[in-house]
Structure 1
Amino acid sequence: MDLRKFLYKGDDLGVTFKEDGTTKIKVWAPNIKNILLNLYSKHDSQRLIFSKNMTKLEDDVWSIILKERETGYLNLDKFFYDFKVKHMDGTEKYALDPYAKSMASFVPNEDINNIGRGAIVSLDSEEAGIKPRSIGMSNLGSSTDMVAYEIHIRDFTIGIDIKDAGTFKAFYEYDEGIEHLKKLGITHVQFLPIQNYFTVDEGNKGYNELGSSYNWGYDPHNYFTPEGWLAADEENPYGRIKELRNLVNKLHENGIGVIMDVVYNHTYNWDIFENLTPGSYYRMFGESISGGTGAGPTLESRNPMVRKLIIDSLKFFIDEYGIDGFRFDLMGFMDIDTMIEIRKAVGDNIILQGEAWNFTDLPINEAPVKGHIANYPHNIDLAVFNDSTRDSYLGKIHEKGFIQGNYDFPITDVCRAGIIGNIIDYYNKSVSIDLYHRFAYSPNETLQYLSIHDGFTLWDKINLSYDGTMIERARLVKFSLGMLFTSQGKVILQGGTEIGLTKPLGAIHQPKDPEADRAHTSEFINFDDDIGNITHYHENSYSSSDFVNQIRWTRKDNSLFKGINNYCGGLIKLRRCANAFRYSTSENIKKGLKFILVDDFNAYRVIAYTLDNTIEYNYGAGIERIPYNKFLVVHNASFETLNLKDNEFLAKMEVLVDSEKAGIIPIKDTDIVVKDGSLKITANTTVVLGIRG
């Protein structure tokens, strides 16, 4: 069978309920001899109550209709099922339905038949809760108006005293947390994976100090079922459905959209699809399955039925859960044509963004990777995580960046590339021309960030790389946020950054942490009062303890972190109230953003530019344009106060951002002094000046 040419176009894979009350189950499975459907009790997913061979139809689709006279049950709602598949070589394997819409509670173990069981559910049932409606980008003025907030469902509430902490339910019941997000001003939350993953005991939800039952979720098990470990009620197959719907509805009610982190590049192990149909779902090199991701077998997105699975899954979460966007993990392993087809399938209103590292097992001309601009699928509003900005502003891994005083060539020039959203056709001698840093045809292809779930948090990065007091470190955090939110493109913030998110690994945690060697220390660290005498900070906490990963909400009461929170919120408000900080097209960036001081003695440590705020008028619901026709932004990365001179500095300019405050209200009590032709700017500071229209 040529899998590249095969496509079943029906929309009835998985479970459907027929009008006569019977239940139909269909599955695509070529290259096998037979499938036996096993039905299990709704009261005990281990108790087999009925088995029957499925019928092979055209196009290698197998089907069965379950009738009362055969099963003995009028209604199969909440019953569980799996497949027993006979392969061509005579071996028999248990298999999970790839289109299962919910599952039995799962516990990973060494049993070779432990592959998980699907649940027979109706998404239209009252038990499934109220179906959300996707808002997509409709709360934005343009796609570059997005300010996303990445968060793991569990981390959001596991550290507080709330019932069902760490679950969808606790998230939407934590009103103080929702209010925090709303007040901060973010437009969307981006959840780490919430599709069912393999390596957690779904019933083990207690607070875990030393680690063992925690995972970020990059170990996919099923692409249609919400993860039961994140649900307060994992036993009832409707529990996870209703709780996720409630959470999306709650966020939408507060004007916040929802983006899902999705992992279609690999699955946890090859049994998940090979047990069902050998050689049909995974990328093959000869007789071997590719393990190029390093995280599991690679899905072959170029096979039409795999591409269909991906697109059906995405559309399912839009239609049934009101999801507004998707972040694609290791997107370089998904082919370009699949990404184009995804955009066609989901429409123009859904946010799409992904990891586009130059890391793939595809031919480079088929892989959507950053820096290969001739091959990248431009003009479909697909943003890439921009490590050029992260690494130049803040420093790569253990290195220092512009913010910590590293001005080695070409760091400052790469920073300027980030300022312009990394568009390819902006011409200025002070901006890097390296195609890896100038990869975007449009600013909506650039997702700007300083930290994300993998890597050091912003606070830890500065703690490890800068020798200074807590107050001085907080100043650098504000400076880095000032650079981030005045850069063109889209923006994503790691959840908790605004209150000093940290990932400390204590000595008692190290023996049980699976990646203890990825926690680092340095001669510069200060000890934070609320975490004790801890010297190591994690940059790969995918299976660490709750102590490492949780958001420490009590930090909001610390004046230092409260100041960062207010500063971050002020920057977000300024960005959203002024189109100039987020132009929607490359043409407008070229027209509206002009660098100054590029020939100044301080040009290696100062980045300055003007912004025309009259070019666009794109504002989200409830957001009004502030009355400034022009802005001047200056980033002083030196460790001294500077007196800069340029004709663009005017005495009538108002200070909106300095080293202490940020927002849309002019700052009166400030150390920034602006006169006609000169600016006095403090050390390690982003300054934004505005001229009223």
Structure 2
Amino acid sequence: MNRTLRRTAAALAALALCTAAAPAARQQSAAASAKAPTAAAQWIDRSTVVWKVEPGDSTAEELRSSRGGALRLSPTSLTGAQKAAYPHLASFPAFAVDPRDRDKAATALRGHVTAVQQESTGDHRVLRRTDVQIPGVLDDLYAPAARRAHLGPVFRDGRPTLSVWAPTAESVALELDGRTVPMRRDAASGVWSVTGGADWRDKPYRYRVRVWAPTVRKVVTHKVTDPYATALTADSTHSLVTDLADPKLAPAGWASLKKPKAVPERDARIEELHIRDFSIADRTSAHRGQYLAFTDRRSDGMKHLRELARAGTSYVHLLPAFDFGTVPERRSDQTEPGCALDSLPADSEEQQSCVGRTAAKDGFNWGYDPLHYTVPEGSYAADPDGPARTREFRRMVQGLNRAGLRTVMDVVYNHTVASGQDPTSVLDRIVPGYYHRLLDDGTVATSTCCANTAPEHAMMGKLVVDSVVTWARQYKVDGFRFDLMGHHPKANILAVRTALDALTPAKDGVDGKAILLYGEGWNFGEVANDARFVQATQKNMAGTGIATFSDRARDAVRGGGPFDEDPRVQGFASGLYTDPNSSPANGTPDQQKSRLLHSQDLIKVGLSGNLADFTFTDTTGHRVKGSEVDYNGSPAGYARAPGDALAYADAHDNETLYDALTYKLPARTPAADRARMQVLAMATATLSQGPALSQAGTDLLRSKSLDRNSFDSGDWFNALHWRCQDGNGFGRGLPPAADNKAKWPYARPLLTDPAARPGCAEITSASAAYRDLLRIRTTEKAFSQATAEGVQRALSFPLSGTGETPGVITMRLGDLVVVFNATPDRRTQAVADLAGTPYALHPVQAHGADPTVRTASYERSSGTFTVPGRTVAVFTRR
């Protein structure tokens, strides 16, 4: 895979399993292929079929349906518009549906459709037969009307109407109160609906859908929950006829909730947080592991969040909190490790083995396995059975808002937990073959890890927009982070933006224009390089006001990548060249120096907000634009304006920053110096133009005991520890074997090394120093340039060039000078142009928590700044 791709939680969650299961999966796929034809023909609209077969003078092609009748085909060519809509099919042979047969399409689609090529003379022997992919023609026939439909439960005058889009179904009925209620089909939209009485409120229901299922090659009757469910029973067995506007679901003060003032996206400082991690180990919380933990104002966790908010953190980004499919929702059904984990050695294999034995049934998972997109996850609720989880989610939002923090939801519309006949497959059991992206042979694409959805299809795109708007209106969510956003069309994400912008406080109770949007703009898989549509990738989203994660400076700061065989590859903040470790992977001293200086250029581009046109002198002495700095063959700078790129040094994926530095810094590095390098690494994101994100606990030197993929590693490896006396999570055993065993030889000696284990002094000082930097970032307007032109005027790197000090970056920003000294030693930086100009250490640092930075100095006559080793110092003009 492309080393620039950083797998998200869901992808990492399945990576080891998919790798191990690949041979078996291939065997199963081969066996399935032997039993049934693939779906190699694609019916893209009512008049056109694309099929990679060559017609001949003696052949005839047609569509056949089990509902009776045939639709004749004749060779044609795709129009320019069709090629633009289906670029991956542009070179395939095309066939026109005979105009006399086009009115048969709707009936044919409610059965099993095959494409047949046969001899046109003699005995009309069938030469080729294949199943047919139908999303395109379904959109052509039904989307104009279906896009306007209100799906799921909708209440009017106290009476609910339930509606579901199922255009290919033979029949749909409602199961409610032990009875089956018929539903009416609208021919124009393909929507089935039924209206009930007020007594239906909060009753459990399912849809009974009779439909052709290609995965089992027969007509089946599915009993399935509502994709537009607003509430669920425990473990998602049934949807509930719930009205989110019901006053019983609104906590006290909900209608008049006062939110912290919104900040422009370019100024957002975001704390990424997993709901269970936040409180499960917090003995001061009355609601450990629950939504309501954010209402425990006196808990250690909430006290820390308030400290971060006062320092400048503006958002808490919650890992998936929608209904997901891998955790038993009732606590009585959850299991816990049965070992005395606290008593085991720091480098033992037993902890991960013990945790692994109960992982499938414990209460922990990151949650990147969507089941129902628009219902809060039940395992975080005090009672998962019913709509109480709605009220508790709202109380969580209230608690965060009252702490001075806005709320971002991590949303995962790019895949589902399952497809086909799996019991946790919802979408695919209602409209088989539609909601998921199919490859040319008709199999479901799984490049994201699981069953990829297809937001390019009208009704999947509608589901994304409708779901986001519901979270914004009904739960007052302040932002959305899109997992693997590059698997969405750009148009889909822009449609989300447009829908949110239409929300107003007077009409909807929220200001949609103030809602934050950002996501992972990685470019990979079957959609890579705009193969199927213009993707929502880094380069394509530039200029939209929707940010994408930037991996450029992150890699330069940390060094190497998460899939390196040797985790000791160093970077700017981990000692490359200036404090080398023993790994041969770092190369010769000359190679290290060259890499370090290039890393410093990447960081400079990051500090500009990853602007494509930001111009500066690089370390080779050339005047370059950000887009001309190389990042693994791609432009380092891709943003058009501050706010297009989101900076970060660590997130839930891969090792925590502390664990990465533990691998990379020389083993002899004292804990105090490890803490200083942590703050320096965080500073490269914190002090950048544009938004920045930090994983919760990173300021507290959070460790997951070197686990690079803790999606299912349980509370033992994941829980946050707010009290320094409880440590930082380091040394809790060797990390789980599935994703870490190759690194165990490197991990074992580190986990038992006292130098790698921080104490209270290191933990508290790092957090305080980070908060000082946050205060500077959020109070100095120079860090908040609104335009690329403003950044170009305000920002420069006066010592960049052939004489630049390896391991030191000096940044001038308006009346500020910032020196990032990643070397172990005190360094001087003489800026001749500033000679005679009065500067002093910024008051926040001069009177702040870090005694080391207070020894930084400035000599006015020569314009020389002197900064201690492993320190970021901010100077301001007097």
After TM superposition, the score normalised by the length of structure 2 is: 0.66
- Of 14, 28, 32, the residue aligned with 2:165 is 28
- Of 256, 260, 264, the residue aligned with 2:405 is 256
The answer on whether the counterparts of 1:422 and 1:439 sit within 8 Å (CA) in structure 2 is: yes
Q: Aligned partners of 2:519, 2:603: CA distance in 1, in Å?
A: 21
Cα displacement string for residues 429-452 of structure 1 (whole angstroms, at most 9, x for unaligned residues): 316623431111112011100110
- Of 649, 657, 672, the residue aligned with 1:458 is 657
Specify the alignment match of 1:245 in structure 2.
394
- Of 353, 369, 379, the residue aligned with 2:543 is 379
Q: CA deviation at 1:39?
A: 1.1
Task: Assess, with a 3 A threshold, how the Cα gap between structure 1 residues 605 and 665 changes in structure 2: closer, same or farther.
Answer: closer
Instruction: Please state if 1:611 is matched with 2:813.
Output: yes
The answer on whether the counterparts of 2:840 and 2:857 sit within 8 Å (CA) in structure 1 is: no
Instruction: Please state if 1:14 is matched with 2:134.
Output: no
Q: Aligned partners of 2:658, 2:842: CA distance in 1, in Å?
A: 24
- Which of 202-211 and 664-673 deviates more? 664-673
- Of 518, 525, 545, the residue aligned with 1:353 is 518
Q: Aligned partners of 1:651, 1:603: CA distance in 2, in Å?
A: 22
Q: Aligned partners of 1:418, 1:690: CA distance in 2, in Å?
A: 22
Q: Aligned partners of 1:608, 1:577: CA distance in 2, in Å?
A: 20
**1:682 corresponds to which letter in structure 2?**
P
Q: Aligned partners of 2:470, 2:257: CA distance in 1, in Å?
A: 11
Instruction: Please state if 1:683 is matched with 2:869.
Output: yes
Q: Aligned partners of 1:242, 1:654: CA distance in 2, in Å?
A: 51
- For these two proteins, the number of residue pairs brought into alignment is 620
Q: Aligned partners of 1:168, 1:54: CA distance in 2, in Å?
A: 37
Q: CA deviation at 1:377?
A: 3.1
Q: CA deviation at 1:25?
A: 0.8
CA RMSD of superposed structures (Å): 3.1
**1:447 corresponds to which letter in structure 2?**
L
Instruction: Please state if 1:122 is matched with 2:234.
Output: no
Q: Aligned partners of 1:539, 1:422: CA distance in 2, in Å?
A: 36
Secondary structure of 1:86's match?
A: strand
> Where does 1:519-538 land on structure 2 (aligned, <5 Å)?
533-534=731-732, 536-537=734-735
Secondary structure of 2:179's match?
A: strand
Specify the alignment match of 1:3 in structure 2.
138
In our comparison, the structure showing a higher alpha carbon Rg is 2
Q: CA deviation at 1:379?
A: 2.7
- Of 197, 212, 223, the residue aligned with 1:94 is 223
Task: Assess, with a 3 A threshold, how the Cα gap between structure 1 residues 536 and 462 changes in structure 2: closer, same or farther.
Answer: farther
**1:158 corresponds to which letter in structure 2?**
I
Specify the alignment match of 1:156 in structure 2.
278
Cα displacement string for residues 642-691 of structure 1 (whole angstroms, at most 9, x for unaligned residues): 22222226573111289xx5788998983212102222222122111001
Instruction: Please state if 1:66 is matched with 2:66.
Output: no
Cα displacement string for residues 219-261 of structure 1 (whole angstroms, at most 9, x for unaligned residues): 00011111001111112x2211000111112222232110000
**2:654 corresponds to which letter in structure 1?**
G
Q: CA deviation at 1:357?
A: 1.2
Q: CA deviation at 1:164?
A: 3.2
Cα displacement string for residues 615-642 of structure 1 (whole angstroms, at most 9, x for unaligned residues): xxxxxxxxxxxxxxx0001112222222
**Kindly, what percent of the aligned residue pairs are identical?**
25
Q: Aligned partners of 1:505, 1:540: CA distance in 2, in Å?
A: 13
Task: Assess, with a 3 A threshold, how the Cα gap between structure 1 residues 691 and 256 changes in structure 2: closer, same or farther.
Answer: same
The answer on whether the counterparts of 1:150 and 1:192 sit within 8 Å (CA) in structure 2 is: yes
Q: CA deviation at 1:583?
A: 1.6
- Which of 293-302 and 345-354 deviates more? 293-302
**1:120 corresponds to which letter in structure 2?**
V
- Which of 118-127 and 94-103 deviates more? 118-127
Q: CA deviation at 1:137?
A: 8.9
- Of 858, 867, 870, the residue aligned with 1:674 is 858
Task: Assess, with a 3 A threshold, how the Cα gap between structure 1 residues 289 and 312 changes in structure 2: closer, same or farther.
Answer: farther
Task: Assess, with a 3 A threshold, how the Cα gap between structure 1 residues 513 and 380 changes in structure 2: closer, same or farther.
Answer: closer
After TM superposition, the score normalised by the length of structure 1 is: 0.83
Structure with bigger helix share is: 2
Task: Assess, with a 3 A threshold, how the Cα gap between structure 1 residues 557 and 265 changes in structure 2: closer, same or farther.
Answer: same
The answer on whether the counterparts of 2:319 and 2:367 sit within 8 Å (CA) in structure 1 is: yes
**1:329 corresponds to which letter in structure 2?**
D
Instruction: Please state if 1:492 is matched with 2:693.
Output: yes
**2:676 corresponds to which letter in structure 1?**
R
Q: CA deviation at 1:538?
A: 6.9
- Of 365, 368, 384, the residue aligned with 2:535 is 368
> Where does 1:469-508 land on structure 2 (aligned, <5 Å)?
469-504=670-705
Instruction: Please state if 1:201 is matched with 2:201.
Output: no
**1:573 corresponds to which letter in structure 2?**
R
Q: CA deviation at 1:338?
A: 0.6
Q: Aligned partners of 2:290, 2:165: CA distance in 1, in Å?
A: 33
Q: CA deviation at 1:460?
A: 1.1
Q: Aligned partners of 2:827, 2:225: CA distance in 1, in Å?
A: 65
Specify the alignment match of 2:380 in structure 1.
230
Structure 2, unaligned runs of 5 or more: 1-105, 107-136, 213-217, 338-354, 420-424, 502-512, 577-592, 619-623, 718-724, 741-756
Cα displacement string for residues 557-581 of structure 1 (whole angstroms, at most 9, x for unaligned residues): 9221111111111111110101212
- Which of 180-189 and 405-414 deviates more? 405-414
Task: Assess, with a 3 A threshold, how the Cα gap between structure 1 residues 515 and 241 changes in structure 2: closer, same or farther.
Answer: closer
Task: Assess, with a 3 A threshold, how the Cα gap between structure 1 residues 126 and 86 changes in structure 2: closer, same or farther.
Answer: same
The answer on whether the counterparts of 1:193 and 1:260 sit within 8 Å (CA) in structure 2 is: yes
The answer on whether the counterparts of 2:286 and 2:296 sit within 8 Å (CA) in structure 1 is: no
> Where does 1:138-537 land on structure 2 (aligned, <5 Å)?
138-140=261-263, 142-161=264-283, 162-176=285-299, 177-185=301-309, 186-204=313-331, 208-209=336-337, 210=355, 211-212=359-360, 213=362, 214-235=364-385, 237-270=386-419, 271-286=425-440, 288-347=442-501, 348-362=513-527, 364-365=529-530, 366-368=533-535, 370=537, 373=539, 376-395=540-559, 396-397=561-562, 398=567, 399-406=569-576, 407-409=593-595, 410-430=598-618, 433=628, 434=630, 435-467=634-666, 468-504=669-705, 533-534=731-732, 536-537=734-735
Task: Assess, with a 3 A threshold, how the Cα gap between structure 1 residues 557 and 77 changes in structure 2: closer, same or farther.
Answer: farther
**1:607 corresponds to which letter in structure 2?**
I
Q: Aligned partners of 2:706, 2:266: CA distance in 1, in Å?
A: 36
- Which of 58-67 and 143-152 deviates more? 58-67
Secondary structure of 2:270's match?
A: strand
Task: Assess, with a 3 A threshold, how the Cα gap between structure 1 residues 466 and 539 changes in structure 2: closer, same or farther.
Answer: farther
**1:454 corresponds to which letter in structure 2?**
D
Secondary structure of 1:221's match?
A: strand
The answer on whether the counterparts of 1:28 and 1:62 sit within 8 Å (CA) in structure 2 is: yes
Q: Aligned partners of 1:306, 1:602: CA distance in 2, in Å?
A: 52
Structure 1, unaligned runs of 5 or more: 41-48, 68-73, 107-114, 520-526, 543-554, 613-629
The answer on whether the counterparts of 1:650 and 1:674 sit within 8 Å (CA) in structure 2 is: no
Secondary structure of 2:234's match?
A: coil
Q: Aligned partners of 1:690, 1:17: CA distance in 2, in Å?
A: 59
Cα displacement string for residues 313-363 of structure 1 (whole angstroms, at most 9, x for unaligned residues): 000011000011100001111011111111111113211100111224225
The answer on whether the counterparts of 1:447 and 1:492 sit within 8 Å (CA) in structure 2 is: yes
Cα displacement string for residues 518-556 of structure 1 (whole angstroms, at most 9, x for unaligned residues): x9xxxxxxx9966575464579999xxxxxxxxxxxx99
Q: Aligned partners of 2:809, 2:706: CA distance in 1, in Å?
A: 36
- Which of 300-309 and 479-488 deviates more? 479-488
Task: Assess, with a 3 A threshold, how the Cα gap between structure 1 residues 90 and 134 changes in structure 2: closer, same or farther.
Answer: farther
- Of 638, 642, 655, the residue aligned with 2:841 is 655
The answer on whether the counterparts of 1:265 and 1:331 sit within 8 Å (CA) in structure 2 is: yes
Specify the alignment match of 1:109 in structure 2.
none
Secondary structure of 1:222's match?
A: strand
**2:266 corresponds to which letter in structure 1?**
T
- Which of 408-417 and 212-221 deviates more? 408-417
Q: Aligned partners of 1:353, 1:135: CA distance in 2, in Å?
A: 24
**1:167 corresponds to which letter in structure 2?**
Q
Secondary structure of 2:371's match?
A: coil
Q: CA deviation at 1:462?
A: 1.1
Cα displacement string for residues 258-278 of structure 1 (whole angstroms, at most 9, x for unaligned residues): 000000000000122111111
Secondary structure of 1:443's match?
A: coil
